[in-house]
Amino acid sequence: MDNLKVLIFMLSIGFIGLAVCVYSIICIIKNRINKIGLYYGEKKEVISFKKDPRKATINLIGYLILAVLCFIPIIISILIYLGIIK
Protein backbone atom coordinates (compact mmCIF):
# COMPACT_ATOMS: atom_id res chain seq x y z
CA MET A 1 0.00 0.00 0.00
CA ASP A 2 2.90 2.36 0.73
CA ASN A 3 4.39 1.84 -2.73
CA LEU A 4 1.04 2.66 -4.32
CA LYS A 5 0.84 6.02 -2.51
CA VAL A 6 4.39 6.91 -3.56
CA LEU A 7 3.62 5.81 -7.12
CA ILE A 8 0.48 7.95 -7.40
CA PHE A 9 2.20 10.95 -5.79
CA MET A 10 5.23 10.83 -8.09
CA LEU A 11 3.12 10.27 -11.20
CA SER A 12 0.90 13.22 -10.34
CA ILE A 13 3.90 15.50 -9.74
CA GLY A 14 5.47 14.42 -13.02
CA PHE A 15 2.36 14.86 -15.13
CA ILE A 16 1.36 18.20 -13.56
CA GLY A 17 4.86 19.57 -14.14
CA LEU A 18 4.87 18.24 -17.67
CA ALA A 19 1.51 19.86 -18.41
CA VAL A 20 2.72 23.25 -17.12
CA CYS A 21 5.89 23.02 -19.23
CA VAL A 22 4.01 22.00 -22.38
CA TYR A 23 1.49 24.83 -21.86
CA SER A 24 4.31 27.37 -21.44
CA ILE A 25 6.15 26.09 -24.53
CA ILE A 26 2.95 26.37 -26.60
CA CYS A 27 2.40 29.92 -25.28
CA ILE A 28 5.92 30.96 -26.28
CA ILE A 29 5.64 29.40 -29.73
CA LYS A 30 2.22 30.94 -30.42
CA ASN A 31 3.40 34.36 -29.12
CA ARG A 32 0.74 34.59 -26.43
CA ILE A 33 1.10 36.19 -23.03
CA ASN A 34 3.07 33.81 -20.85
CA LYS A 35 1.26 33.88 -17.52
CA ILE A 36 3.50 31.32 -15.83
CA GLY A 37 6.83 32.74 -17.01
CA LEU A 38 9.89 33.94 -15.20
CA TYR A 39 8.70 37.56 -15.11
CA TYR A 40 6.93 38.61 -11.94
CA GLY A 41 5.09 41.80 -11.07
CA GLU A 42 2.11 43.72 -12.32
CA LYS A 43 3.37 44.12 -15.88
CA LYS A 44 3.00 40.97 -17.99
CA GLU A 45 5.44 40.83 -20.84
CA VAL A 46 4.70 39.21 -24.15
CA ILE A 47 7.51 36.79 -24.85
CA SER A 48 7.69 36.40 -28.61
CA PHE A 49 10.30 35.55 -31.18
CA LYS A 50 9.41 38.69 -33.15
CA LYS A 51 10.01 41.11 -30.26
CA ASP A 52 13.00 39.57 -28.49
CA PRO A 53 14.22 36.28 -29.95
CA ARG A 54 16.98 35.89 -27.35
CA LYS A 55 14.58 36.07 -24.39
CA ALA A 56 12.10 33.74 -26.08
CA THR A 57 14.83 31.21 -26.87
CA ILE A 58 16.12 31.27 -23.29
CA ASN A 59 12.61 30.69 -21.94
CA LEU A 60 11.96 27.93 -24.47
CA ILE A 61 15.19 26.13 -23.54
CA GLY A 62 14.38 26.53 -19.84
CA TYR A 63 10.94 25.02 -20.21
CA LEU A 64 12.31 22.17 -22.35
CA ILE A 65 14.82 21.37 -19.59
CA LEU A 66 12.02 21.47 -17.00
CA ALA A 67 9.91 19.17 -19.19
CA VAL A 68 12.77 16.66 -19.33
CA LEU A 69 13.21 16.91 -15.54
CA CYS A 70 9.50 16.18 -15.08
CA PHE A 71 10.09 12.75 -16.62
CA ILE A 72 12.35 11.78 -13.67
CA PRO A 73 9.51 11.11 -11.16
CA ILE A 74 7.52 9.36 -13.90
CA ILE A 75 10.45 7.05 -14.70
CA ILE A 76 11.18 6.43 -11.00
CA SER A 77 7.54 5.54 -10.34
CA ILE A 78 7.53 3.11 -13.27
CA LEU A 79 10.70 1.49 -11.90
CA ILE A 80 9.08 1.21 -8.45
CA TYR A 81 6.00 -0.36 -10.05
CA LEU A 82 8.11 -2.88 -11.95
CA GLY A 83 9.98 -3.77 -8.76
CA ILE A 84 13.43 -2.66 -9.94
CA ILE A 85 13.62 -0.02 -7.17
CA LYS A 86 12.38 -1.09 -3.74
What are the tens digits of pLDDT across the range 8-28? 888 888 888 888 888 777 777
Residue 22 lies in a domain: yes
pLDDT at residue 28 in the model: 72
Which structural domain range is residue 7 located in?
2-33+45-82
Residue 39 lies in a domain: no
pLDDT at residue 40 in the model: 44
Residue whose C-alpha is closest to residue 28's, from 68, 9, 67, 55: 55
Residue 75 lies in a domain: yes
pTM: 0.63
Under-50 pLDDT residues of the chain? 34, 36-38, 40-41
pLDDT at residue 48 in the model: 67
pLDDT at residue 72 in the model: 85
| Contact partners, residue 44, CB within 8 Å, separation at least 6 | 33, 34, 35
How many domains in the chain? 1
